[in-house]
Amino acid sequence: MQIRMDWRSVTFDWNRARAFLVTAEEGSLSAAARALKLAQPTLGRQVEALEAELGVALFERSGRGLRLTPSGHELLEHARLMGEGARALSLAAWGQTEALEGEVAISASDAYASYLLPPILERLHAAEPRIRIEIVVSNDLSDLSRREADIAVRNVRPTEPDLVARKVRDAMARLYATPAYLDRLGRPGSAAGYSAADFIEIDANNSLMHLLNAKGLSLDQANFPYRCRNFTVMWEMVRKGMGIGILDDRIGDADEIVERAVPGFEPIAFPIWLVAHRDIARSRRLRVVFDALADGFSV
């Protein structure tokens, strides 16, 4: 027996519930307006209208912004369930299309987006010109369930049950520097000779220093005068002769301005995964882009 919903009990506008949810999640009307691509006064009126429809105050307003009331906290989880349902409906509908046209968003790190994606996308565009690509450049993991991207290029296997993934290869990261910089160092023949070299750190946790020391170098923070969390910027610093950096060898070996540094240094293997949401993996458009990326990154 099918149970039908009594729609007469729904006394509010669903769009206004979305306005409430996004405002609560973003923490302010201005941030929510940007997320929804609405004018802030319009969004504010939607929230106020929802409060009037429900007969409760959802936010306390003060000079410091908005704060959820007890009623707002209680109703927020119900609004989140509505948002998840709307998102699931959108994903399911998106996944049914067979047309080879429309937009696909690809999330990738700055280095991959700058150096490896362009030739892959150029070939894809020549084969399927009606598919439009948005490149989401981020070194953080995009939330595919929330449609921050449709496909992600990652170096870790996803653990979320609603994602599907394909490992396309094991890549190798190597150390690089300009010939002029290595000449200034005297081109040491072993790792021990690089104790006076400058390296470019890649994060706030001194990950590269710890990694290199585990590989036989003897470095401390004095060897890392620069820290850069953007790999493209880091690579430009290496190309300017400012020190030694680490990068995927398909990028480093293809760059004529630099060469491999630290003789005998064993490259660091890391996986490349393509990831998509399982509900949209059935889309022909997505599958074509996914396969094009798999072919491009596998060589």
- What integer pLDDT is reported at residue 207 of this predicted model? 92
Residues 38, 75, single domain; the answer is yes
Nearest to 250 by CA among 226, 267, 238: 267
Once rounded to an integer, what is the mean pLDDT over residues 121-148? 89
Q: Is 3 helix (H, G, I), strand (E, B) or coil?
A: coil
Is residue 74's pLDDT more than 60? Answer: yes
Residue % of the chain over a pLDDT of 90: 47
- What integer pLDDT is reported at residue 297 of this predicted model? 93
* pLDDT higher at 272 or 88: 272
- Where does the pLDDT of residue 116 fall: very low under 50, low under 70, confident under 90, or very high at 90 and above? very high
End residue of a domain, out of 98, 125, 150? 98
Give the predicted TM-score (pTM) of the model. 0.67
Q: Which two tokens stand for residue 160?
A: 């979320």
- What integer pLDDT is reported at residue 64 of this predicted model? 64
Residues 68, 213, single domain; the answer is no
How many domains, in total, are found in the chain? 3
- What integer pLDDT is reported at residue 294 of this predicted model? 94
Residues 239, 195, single domain; the answer is yes
CATH of the domain at 154: 3.40.190.10
Distance from C-alpha of 189 to C-alpha of 173, rounded to nearest angstrom: 20
- What integer pLDDT is reported at residue 54 of this predicted model? 83
- What integer pLDDT is reported at residue 171 of this predicted model? 94
Residues 176, 43, single domain; the answer is no
Residues 80, 153, single domain; the answer is no
- What integer pLDDT is reported at residue 1 of this predicted model? 46
* pLDDT higher at 12 or 117: 117
Q: Is residue 161 part of a domain?
A: yes
Range among 3-17, 54-68, 93-107, 271-285 with highest mean pLDDT value = 271-285
Is residue 172's pLDDT more than 50? Answer: yes
Number of C-beta neighbours around residue 89 at 10 A: 10
* pLDDT higher at 256 or 298: 256
Is residue 111's pLDDT more than 80? Answer: yes
- What integer pLDDT is reported at residue 48 of this predicted model? 86
Mean pLDDT, the chain, whole residue set: 86
Residues 124, 157, single domain; the answer is yes
- Where does the pLDDT of residue 261 fall: very low under 50, low under 70, confident under 90, or very high at 90 and above? very high
Residues 75, 213, single domain; the answer is no
Once rounded to an integer, what is the mean pLDDT over residues 46-75? 81
Range among 37-41, 148-152, 248-252 with highest mean pLDDT value = 248-252
> What are the pLDDT digits (tens) for 209-225?
999 999 889 999 999 99
Nearest to 236 by CA among 257, 212, 211, 254: 257
Nearest to 23 by CA among 48, 56, 54: 48
- What integer pLDDT is reported at residue 292 of this predicted model? 94
Is residue 6's pLDDT more than 60? Answer: no
Distance from C-alpha of 10 to C-alpha of 295, rounded to nearest angstrom: 50
Displacement of CA 147 from its chain's centroid (Å): 11
End residue of a domain, out of 67, 98, 129? 98
- Residue range of the domain that includes 227: 172-270
- Where does the pLDDT of residue 88 fall: very low under 50, low under 70, confident under 90, or very high at 90 and above? low
